């Protein structure tokens, strides 16, 4: 579970990628060309970011002729919304700290 969080956080930590993802969420399916026109970076750079978003499961691509269309997969954010997986990681690390403290209390 924590690794799924890590991937999502790492992927969305980049402001350019986050902007691309947010735009796909807002505007629906969009071509790489249309995304590039307003991204302020080159098409290869946009494609690279889209590839990373795709690896994280945040976008899906669809090829039609010479165009590649991307759409947002909002469901991929579910692990972030599931408080139980967040808290499980939280408490596991707290148990580690507690055990460290108990060892120190021995001394």
Write out the residues near another protein by the rule CB under 8 A: 9, 12-13, 77, 80-84, 86-88, 91-95, 97-102, 104-105
Q: Between 11 and 32, whose beta carbon lies closer to another protein? A: 11
Q: Between 45 and 78, whose beta carbon lies closer to another protein? A: 78
Q: Between 63 and 104, whose beta carbon lies closer to another protein? A: 104
As measured in angstroms, the least distance from the Cβ of 101 to another protein is 5
Six-digit token pair at 102?
């108990």
Phi, psi angle pair for 41, to nearest 5°:
-135, 170
Q: What is the DSSP secondary-structure string of 6-75?
A: HHHHHHHHSHHHHHHHHHHHHH-SEEHHHHHHHHSS-HHHHHHHHHHHHHTTSEEEEEETTEEEEEE-GG
Q: Between 64 and 81, whose beta carbon lies closer to another protein? A: 81
As measured in angstroms, the least distance from the Cβ of 8 to another protein is 9
Query: Is the Cβ–Cβ distance between 59 and 71 less than 8 Å?
Result: yes
As measured in angstroms, the least distance from the Cβ of 46 to another protein is 23
């Amino acid at each position: 579970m924590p690794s799924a969080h890590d991937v999502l956080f790492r992927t969305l930590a980049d402001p350019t990628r986050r902007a691309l993802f947010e735009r796909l969420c807002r505007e629906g399916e969009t071509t790489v060309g249309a995304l590039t026109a307003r991204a302020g970076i080159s098409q290869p750079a946009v494609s690279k970011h889209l590839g990373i978003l795709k690896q994280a499961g945040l976008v899906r691509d669809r090829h039609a002729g010479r165009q590649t269309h991307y759409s947002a997969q909002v469901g991929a954010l579910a692990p972030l919304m599931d408080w139980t997986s967040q808290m499980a990681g939280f408490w596991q690390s707290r148990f580690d700290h507690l055990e460290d403290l108990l060892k120190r209390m021995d001394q």
